[in-house]
């Protein structure tokens, strides 16, 4: 068990979460919890937390990719003027390649 899980177990739990589910869903969840050796509550909370963490991570990664894409497109459409180092590198390349 990770340290985070141990801390969470010791944390005082004051919030409640309720859901209405079908008998088939309950049977499935109870079976999965039993296979993991946990209570239904522990199984549901852990599964919901994993799903929430994954969803947030996916959203954040997608959001960052969108930002990176915009920065890239802006740099391509509006490139900065070459600085001294870039001009010197281009000149070295031309001399080296005989262009």
The per-residue pLDDT for range 12-54, each reduced to its tens digit, is 889 999 999 999 999 999 999 999 999 999 999 999 999 999 9
Give residues with Cβ within 8 angstroms of 93, minimum separation 6.
99
Query: Is the Cβ–Cβ distance between 43 and 29 less than 8 Å?
Result: yes
Q: What is the pTM of this model?
A: 0.55
* Domains identified in the chain and CATH numbers: 18-97 (1.20.5)
Q: Which residue has the higher pLDDT, 66 or 26?
A: 26
Residue 92 reports pLDDT greater than 90? yes
**Range among 8-17, 58-67, 84-93 rated most confident:** 84-93
Give the whole-number percent of the chain exceeding pLDDT 70.
90
- pLDDT at position 2: 60
Q: How far apart are CA 75 and CA 69, in angstroms?
A: 10
Pick the closest to residue 40 from 57, 27, 49 (CA basis). Answer: 27
Give residues with Cβ within 8 angstroms of 55, minimum separation 6.
none
Q: How far apart are CA 18 and CA 16, in angstroms?
A: 7
How many other β-carbons are positioned within 10 Å of the β-carbon of residue 43?
A: 19
pLDDT classification of 7: cutoffs 50, 70, 90: low
- pLDDT at position 95: 95
């Amino acid at each position: 068990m990770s340290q985070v899980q141990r801390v969470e177990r010791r944390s005082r739990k004051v919030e409640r979460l309720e859901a209405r589910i079908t008998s088939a869903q309950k049977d499935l969840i109870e079976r999965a919890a039993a296979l993991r050796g946990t209570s239904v509550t522990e199984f549901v909370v852990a599964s919901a937390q994993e799903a929430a963490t994954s969803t947030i991570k996916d959203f954040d990664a997608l959001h960052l990719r969108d930002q990176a894409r915009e920065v890239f497109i802006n740099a391509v459409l509006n490139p900065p003027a070459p600085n001294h180092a870039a001009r010197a590198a281009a000149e070295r390349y031309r001399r080296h390649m005989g262009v």
